[in-house]
Amino acid sequence: MVDKVQKTEQEWKQELSVDQFAVCRLAGTERAFTGKYWDHKEKGVYVCACCGTPLFTSVTKYDSGSGWPSFFQPLQADVIRENRDSSHGMVRTEVLCGACDAHLGHVFPDGPPPTGLRYCINSLSLDFRPEAGA
């Protein structure tokens, strides 16, 4: 299990940029093809922008054509949490950081093998840590 990180809305507001706060804490979505990681191909680990928990690795990142960073699986099953999202007239599965409940994006059943899943994640919800020596 991941250790829970709990902060007040005011604390998050102080730590995050306005755009990060809107996406991570208010479940916003950055515009497609505008984030810093949708076309990012370095080797390394993507961590939660809010709490630093490692969430995804470049090994499972792929080009989905969506304009958002896309992965076919999380680093470990319990680093993320899923939640039914029926906003905007659609039923989707929201993906959140398992530690701090940051909104990350959504998961869709149209990904590549071996999972068939597409974790469609906002760049603003992520920070990148290059792999040592990569």
User: What residues are annotated to the active site?
Assistant: 120
Instruction: Give CA 43 to chain center in angstroms.
Output: 17
- Asked if residues 37 and 123 have their Cβ atoms less than 8 Å apart, the reply is yes
Which CB sits closer to Fe ion, 23 or 48?
48
Instruction: Please tell me whether residue 55 binds Fe ion under the rule CB under 5 A.
Output: no
Contacts with Fe ion: how many residues (CB under 5 A)?
8
Q: In this structure, what is the dihedral angle of CA atoms 76, 98, 30, 23, given to the nearest 10 degrees? A: -170
Region binding Fe ion by CB under 5 A among candidate stretches 35-43, 65-73, 92-100, 116-124? 92-100
Gap between the Cα atoms of 76 and 53, Å rounded: 11
Which CB sits closer to Fe ion, 110 or 129?
129
List interacting residues with Fe ion (CB under 5 A): 48, 50-51, 53, 97, 99-100, 102
